Amino acid sequence: MAQIQLLSSTLSNQIAAGEVIERPASIVKELVENAIDAQATQIDIAVKDAGISAIQVTDNGSGIANDEVELAFQPHATSKIHSNNDLFNVKTLGFRGEALASIAAVAKVQLITSTTGLRGTLIKIAGGKQLQKRLVAAAKGTSITVTDLFYNTPARLKYLKTVSTELNRIIDIVDRLALAHPQIAFTLVNEQRNLIRTSGNGKLQQTIAGIYGRKTAAQMVEIQQNTSDFQVEGFISLPQQTRANRQYMSLLINGRYIINFPLMKAVLAGYGSKLMVGRYPVAVVQIQMDPLLVDVNVHPTKREVRLSKEEQLATLIQQTIAAKLSQLNLIPDAVNNL
94 binds Mg ion (CB under 5 A): yes
Residue choice 95, 150, 235, 248 for contact with ligand ADP (CB under 6 A): 95
100 binds ligand ADP (CB under 6 A): yes
Least gap, CB of 141 to ligand ADP (angstroms): 7
Stretch that binds ligand ADP, among 78-86, 125-133, 154-162, 261-269 (CB under 6 A): 78-86
Site string for ligand ADP, 30-69 (x = CB under 6 A): x---xx--x--------------------x-xxxx-----
With helix as H, strand as E and coil as C, how does the chain read? CCCCCCCCHHHHHHHHHHHHCCCHHHHHHHHHHHHHHCCCCEEEEEEEHHHCCEEEEEECCCCCCHHHHHHHCCCCCCCCCCCHHHHCCCCCCCCCCCHHHHHHHHCEEEEEEECCCCEEEEEEEECCEEEEEEEEECCCEEEEEEECCCCCCHHHHHHCCCHHHHHHHHHHHHHHHHHHCCCCEEEEEECCEEEEECCCCCCHHHHHHHHHCHHHHHCCEEEEEECCCEEEEEEECCCCCEECCHHHEEEEECCEEECCHHHHHHHHHHHHHHCCCCCEECEEEEEEECHHHEECCCCCCCCCCEECCHHHHHHHHHHHHHHHHHHHHHCHHHHHCC
Residue choice 26, 34, 113, 286 for contact with Mg ion (CB under 5 A): 34
Least gap, CB of 125 to ligand ADP (angstroms): 12
Site for ligand ADP in 131-150 (CB under 6 A): 142
Residue choice 72, 170, 179, 185 for contact with ligand ADP (CB under 6 A): 72
Report the residue number, 29 or 169, with the smaller CB distance to Mg ion.
Answer: 29
Which partner, ligand ADP, Mg ion, none, binds residue 284 by CB below 5 to 8 Å per kind?
none
Residue choice 97, 127, 200, 239 for contact with ligand ADP (CB under 6 A): 97
Which partner, ligand ADP, Mg ion, none, binds residue 243 by CB below 5 to 8 Å per kind?
none
